[in-house]
Structure 1
């Protein structure tokens, strides 16, 4: 169907060029005849195209019959005079007498088979289906040429995990992922979440779950959020210049909502807990956020222990940016 439509478009384009040339060369006397000829050529091409489309769809189609040909009556000459008329004695033709045809006289005509006209609705549907298929194929081809950011990001991350002998821990992508990933590793490292229950503001419906705040398997992210918000408030001179909203409003979102954490929160977490944070990026780079306090620890083993590893994704997760926790392979 696609090849047939391509040929039809080319033939229509060629005919249009011929028609344009004919009309340009027409004079005042020949314009009418040329216009009639152009209309005839267009009709013939349109009828042929419709017939070919119908045949391709499994229908048998012929051009419609305009009428019957050459109806004639026996014993009649072309000019309508009876062939048996005879000339009179003086050479003048005698008046012909016309008698009604007998039962033996019949009309002779060339029969034509009337066939069903092409179904134009089916032809339109076929053309539309072919066009949609062509568009889908084109879209698929264009999509195949696009960069696979999701696949490339996952492949680059896994290569770094393997090189550093790290194992990924999936974190729920619920807006708390950064704080949950940190809570998971603080608990594993034995550093504790350091929450201050008096400063963790909970909604009435969750007051009965106060004891779960210190557990990274439940609401551990709440403790990390509270510690982060309080540290930013207590050291506002270091953070306030980078905020696009008032300090109180900003820290309230950190403590009480599912607001995503970013660079400011990473800095506050590193300093509040005295840990260095390494964030593996989607292109394989490692961003290091240092606490400053960790360098003062003389015990090298303790200094190495106080390192948090995070995996930061931009394309892999449907909701957007996401953090997973990373732990050392056993």
Structure 2
């Protein structure tokens, strides 16, 4: 009898990733179906919740892929083949005798099977991601940043990513995300003429009214509303510091060049997560040899 082909850790991880991604998409669809389309507030909350779910899953995938690829870390491989070896040993013992399986053992067996299935889904998603837009964008950004002796520093995707990245770049400022949002809103309110022409009502195509502009500023200050170039422009003026935004397939955007201080450097990613745009911070490029020792 021919020996059955043993799947590699990468193949097992790929299967795990594929199923986990599929399960998440099904869950997201159920969440979308449960929220009325005309309830804008709940739809907005839903969008943020979906972004968090996808971000968490992607972060988990990346971490487990790094573990699998690391020559000094065989944790994932041991988990995958350890579960397989235990299963084979159990089957051999089963041929000798058929003991009564307790409820506790059934629960343990079910948990082990679920864990193995999860690892397979992780691996599958990792393989898919290697050819995806997110991976290709990451490669281009890494090359651009390396020219400045920089690398990406991951920022959580929770709607506050732009402000968290700025907070990370200004450790001496001792200013929280909440304070940064407040300073941004305060500046925009006091310089409304500089920002109103760029804010258009998507339903009417008209420039924001005074009430709409106030709501925009209030949401920006008190919620996890996503920030963009308008908010960056306001922050450069409020903080008196230049900001540069590095992108993969576009020229670097520079804002507040009239200020002489060291610029804040952000990374703007179009394909970071399932819902798209995301800001990351940067840090000094680490020596690969030292990174392995740390």
Greater Cα radius of gyration, structure 1 or 2: 1
Greater per-residue helix proportion: 2
Quick one: higher RCO (CA 8 Å, sep 6+), 1 or 2?
2
